[in-house]
């Protein structure tokens, strides 16, 4: 088996572990940035085997420059999307935030009535 056989290269910016919906960026973020062990990572993702985690790490080590760029692009895209969602939240998020604010206002009124 070739190392690349562990992955589905869907697009240049979307590499997934074969047979899962998990992208290599997920595994490598946990490994590189969260300093998690392969065993901890495989326990976090039920659809991923320990062998797949090791294959992902090995793929990264063999292609460090390209995979580092892949992860950097993924992180940049993630940050842009979070910022976009923060600036323009979907209607359901706006509604939930409004409900939360109303609930907190009602709680303050209730708490002030009790303490009076």
**pLDDT above 90 as % of the chain:** 56
pTM of the predicted model over 0.85? no
110 within some domain: no
In a domain, 94, yes or no: no
Name the average pLDDT for the chain.
Answer: 91
61 CA to centre of own chain: 21
Enclosing domain of residue 62: 3-88
Element (H, E) at 57: helix 50-62
Q: What is the pLDDT of residues 54-90, one digit of tens each?
A: 999 999 999 999 999 998 998 898 888 889 888 888 8
- 3-class state of residue 34 by DSSP: coil
Is position 73 within any domain?
A: yes
pLDDT tier for residue 116 given thresholds of 50, 70 and 90: low
Q: How is residue 19 annotated by DSSP?
A: T
Residue 98 forms part of a structural domain: no
Give the residue, 113 or 59, on which the prediction is more confident. Answer: 59
Q: Is the dihedral of CA 14, 17, 22, 23 positive or negative?
A: negative
Share of the chain above pLDDT 70, in %: 99
- Inside any domain, residue 32: yes
Q: Is residue 54 part of a domain?
A: yes
Q: Tell me the CATH number at 55.
A: 1.10.10.10
Q: How far apart are CA 51 and CA 49, in angstroms?
A: 5
**Tally of structural domains, the chain:** 1
Q: Is residue 103 part of a domain?
A: no
């Amino acid at each position: 088996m070739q190392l690349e056989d562990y992955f589905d290269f869907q697009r240049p910016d979307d590499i997934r572990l074969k047979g899962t919906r998990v992208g290599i960026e997920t595994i490598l973020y946990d490994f590189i940035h969260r300093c998690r062990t392969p065993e901890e990572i495989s326990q976090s993702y039920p659809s991923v085997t320990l062998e797949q985690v090791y294959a992902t790490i090995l793929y990264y080590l063999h292609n460090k420059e390209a995979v580092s760029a892949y992860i950097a692009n993924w992180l940049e895209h993630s940050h842009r999307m979070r910022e976009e969602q923060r600036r323009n939240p979907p209607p359901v998020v706006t509604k939930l935030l409004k409900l939360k604010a109303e609930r907190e206002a009602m709680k303050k009124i209730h708490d002030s009535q009790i303490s009076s």
